[in-house]
Amino acid sequence: QSVLTQPPSVSGAPGQSVTISCTGSSSNIGAAFAVHWYQQLPGTAPKLLIYDNNNRPSGVPERFSGSKSGTSGSLAISGLQAEDEADYYCQSYDSSLSGSVFGGGTKLTVL
Amino acid sequence: EVQLVDSGGGLVQPGGSLRLSCAASGFTFSDYWMSWVRQAPGKGLEWVANINPDGSGKYCVDSVKGRFTISRDNAKSSLYLQMNSLRADDTAVYYCAKYSDYCMDVWGKGTTVTVSS
């Protein structure tokens, strides 16, 4: 059971938009620790996609955006492309565990 | 180019030991926290351990406390994970990562650890 809760799967057709939620608690996201998002393409290492709730590292398309409210964060992907098919993980810091925590991951299928 | 190359994985019997290494390049290693993150087969990501820039502060997940030790050699720009008393549920791909502002901004390609008799 992951500390952060994500839906196991989401799907959308090319060109559509999807949103992935990440729900935490008062010791992590709710304690003002930022939400970060990672993309893991099949057979590869994770890659930082969004940091500090809503910032994109250099090279990440504007189609990817993040937000945070209360004890939850969200990743939005617009204009879905086949290459977006991957697993997506949220991550934050947990003060009661004194370490990082991840969501269980969400598999995005582009129909 | 910022790069992390993790190595040292392999097949080990339950109760055995293994030492993972991670060679860093392209950034000032001694300025940054570093992390180990693992991923069991078909499962999600799990944070394992963090170490601060001078090695004086170490933090790890409860499931590995007393068995795993994170360390670093700043002169060699290298990160290590000493794993003792290995169990079947430690089987995973282990990734080293650069830890900056509470997120993992650079990842190695991973090294596979299999614990089996």
pLDDT tens digits for B74-85? 999 999 999 999
Q: Does the beta-carbon distance from B47 to A38 stay under 8 Å? A: no
Q: Do A36 and A91 form a contact (C-beta atoms < 8 A)?
A: yes
Which residue of B lies nearest to A87 if distances are taken between CA atoms?
B44
Q: Please, what is the average pLDDT of chain A? A: 96
How far apart are the C-alpha atoms of B28 and B90, rounded to whole Å? 31
Taking phi over 0 as left and psi of -120 to 50 as alpha, with beta for the rest, A98 belongs to left
One-letter amino acid of A94: D
- With a cut of 90, say whether residue A1 has pLDDT above it: no
Does A12 contact chain B (CB < 8 Å)?
Answer: no
Q: Which residues of A touch B4 (CB under 8 A)?
A: none
Spatial separation of the C-alpha atoms in residues A58 and A80, rounded to whole Å: 20
Three-class SS state of B75: helix
Contact B102 A97 (CB under 8 A): no
Tens digit of pLDDT for each residue in A6-44? 999 999 999 999 999 999 999 999 998 999 999 999 999
Backbone angles phi, psi at B39, to 5 degrees: -140, 110
Mean pLDDT of B100-110: 95
Residue-level pLDDT at B61: 96
User: Model confidence over A61-101: pLDDT tens digits?
Assistant: 999 999 999 999 999 999 999 999 999 999 999 999 999 99
Query: Taking CB atoms and an 8 Å cutoff, what residues of chain A touch B60?
Result: 99
3-state secondary structure of A85: coil
Chain A hits for B46, CB-CB cut-off 8 Å, are 102
